[in-house]
Amino acid sequence: MKSVCSMLTDNGVMEDVDKAALTMLARNYSMFIKANKQLEKDGLTVTSDRGNIAQHPLVKVARDAQNSAVKLMEKFGLTVKDRSKLPSLSEGSDDSPLA
């Protein structure tokens, strides 16, 4: 997470108010990892008391955590596509909203 904060700071887009959203990103990513580790142990399906086979509930947990993390990553420019859209606020630039 330190490298993410450094990259955002270096690009001039990190603010103190972003810490809550970055914490949510870290928690969603952690939940995704934990759910997938448990799925590797348990398998993707479960068997009910009646013998019915169903998708393991952690599949949905992992998918939801991944989707939430990716949405937050996009907001912070942490995907290849979105990183190219980060504003460049170099001095002397006519495009700078702070000029």
Q: pTM for this one?
A: 0.71
**Residues forming beta bridges with residue 55, ordered by sequence position:** 45
Element (H, E) at 54: strand 53-55
Q: Going residue by residue through the chain (99 aa), what tens digit of pLDDT does each one get? A: 777 777 777 777 777 778 888 889 999 999 999 999 999 999 999 999 999 999 999 999 999 999 999 999 888 888 888 877 766 544 444 554 444
What is the amino acid identity at position 88? S
Round to the nearest angstrom and report the end-to-end CA distance of the chain.
31
